[in-house]
Structure 1
Amino acid sequence: MQSRLKPILEILITKGNSQYGREAVSQLEHALQCATLAENDDRTPDLIAACLLHDLGHLLHDLGENVADRGLDDRHEYRAMPLLQTLFKPSVTEPIRLHVDAKRYLCAVGSTYWESLSPASKRSLKLQGGIFSAEAAASFIAQPYAKDAVQLRIWDDRAKVANLSTPDLEHFTPILVSCLT
């Protein structure tokens, strides 16, 4: 079963050391921090896996680093879907697909959420369609897995701490294996 994960693990190992936008962490550090937050909150293996893999799409394009600085939306929430959907059930893939819209939702429903975003996240939000209208927010949260995506997004925002100690990728591999279809 673990052999089915080989392409994903190789991507995380070989490309995960790239900088996570303008944040103080690498892509892999960000993924591990997000998954650790979910695990520490006793969430399901599926949501922990989604947290670990939510930004895999950033590692699958050849647009270079800091694409938002160049006015581009890399649409990372969709880039990894062809691979992830062959391996995982919707309880893993849907929160990943929805996590960008979850940021748009949280900005629409939380008066202080926008202020809590990092400058890089504010910049990318504009490229990702901006803050949802009240109607779009209501439609978003009614979707299956939207609440999981919102929680993933909250951890995503917190998973940017330089030099934070987390379990390594090997620690999370059995969780990924348990989530395979």
Structure 2
Amino acid sequence: MAGLIVVNDEELSEKLKLIQKSEGAVLAPFDSWLILRGIKTLGVRLEKQQQNAMKIAKWLCTHKNVTKVNYVGLPEHEGYEISKSQASGFGAMISFNAKDVETVERVLAKVQLVMFAESLGGVESLITYPTVQTHAAIPEEMRQRIGVTDTLLRLSVGIEEAEDIIADLEQALE
């Protein structure tokens, strides 16, 4: 993670420079170089991830062990129209509900190409189980209210071939 601060106030600029020098709140040169290198291929990576996500979301919609697919790129998603009007793509995050907890457990144990890990936006496909990972500290009543149930899985789609990701999910869902 990194960021950029731009100000048009000289006094504020000087305060920020002091914080940088005294507290080290800046990236190391190598980290900065890695970001610059990654930005050069960001567009092609995102395009591939979005293409993959669309194929996978459509496929998940047809699977007998999946009860719901949440992907803003699907026309039936409640945010589809606004996303279409505001963005040039739909991203690479999909969440879906498996038919039961046993299916969730089987998927997490059997995926091979897709890794069971918490992260977002990498080049590799990752699957998470929000109930026990990212949302574990949220009270169950609130999780249920926002749709983070014990059958919800979240998929961060990478740049592998979509057919390979689908094949991995297929063998894990069966």
State whether TM-score is above 0.5. Answer: no
Question: When the two structures are superposed, what TM-score results if normalisation uses the length of structure 2?
Answer: 0.32
Structure that is richer in helix per residue: 1
RCO higher in 1 or 2 (8 Å CA, sep ≥ 6)?
Answer: 1
Structure that is richer in strand per residue: 2
